[in-house]
Amino acid sequence: MPSPAKMSPQTVAGNVNLNDRVVKPMKTTWSQNYNSEVTRQRLAERGLKSQRNIFQNGDYYAGQVDVVSGQRKGSGRLREENQDLYVGDWKEDMKHGLGSTYTRCGPHKGSRYEGGFARDEMSGHGTYRNNTGAVYQGQYKEGCKEGWGSLAFPEGDLYEGEWKSDKFDGHGTMRWKAGAMYEGQWKVTNHTLILLTLDTNHPRH
């Protein structure tokens, strides 16, 4: 008789082969069944249920949905067809509330975002870690950096100030790793960063 490590799942009755190891399946205890039932009841009281869906475009969703409409609502996990991930809150079939994303392919592969969402867009306060090493912490609106935020560059430079449509716009302070610092009104024009006015009330080094 062959050793257990060489047996296939079909030849080892009642066991599961995992990475060439025979592992006995876990038994479901009474407490696990009870907790699952309690969870279902609590979700039902909120008009929700747990569900797993595979969409025609290849996206996979596991989480809570509205009992009546079937729309994603509550908390859930979405793995998109390109393997990008979102874990967080949903409302009316859209990312809405707090959540996190992880990009697994394309030019932004390895980038992460944690923070607020509204109607499928980054919104409110959030932290975005680019795959280059840059880190932005601050406000978002409709998917763009807008409001007050800080951007730490991988080289060690730091900008803190106002943003609009993903660009420096308004009052802010730029600190370079070498020690120089400029504070004043900033604007990006034709992809060029311009210091419009310099705040002379603050020392520069």
Query: What span, in angstroms and rounded, lies between the C-alpha atoms of 143 and 52?
Result: 27
Q: How many CB atoms lie within 10 A of CB 139?
A: 20
The per-residue pLDDT for 39 is 84
In this structure, CATH architecture of domain 48-198: Alpha-Beta Complex (3.90)
Query: What span, in angstroms and rounded, lies between the C-alpha atoms of 70 and 50?
Result: 10
Strand ranges for the chain from DSSP E:
16-18, 21-23, 48-54, 60-66, 72-79, 85-91, 94-102, 112-118, 121-129, 135-141, 144-152, 158-164, 167-175, 181-189, 192-198
The per-residue pLDDT for 137 is 98
For the chain, the average pLDDT equals: 82
Q: How many CB atoms lie within 10 A of CB 163?
A: 26
pLDDT surpassing 70 at residue 168: yes
For 182, half-sphere exposure in the C-beta direction (CA atoms, 13 angstrom radius) is: 11
Percentage of the chain beyond pLDDT 70 is 75
pLDDT surpassing 70 at residue 6: no
Query: What span, in angstroms and rounded, lies between the C-alpha atoms of 20 and 8?
Result: 8
Question: What pLDDT digit, counting tens, does each position of 113-136 carry?
Answer: 999 999 999 999 999 999 999 999
The per-residue pLDDT for 200 is 44
pTM: 0.75
Tokens read off for 57: 């475009």
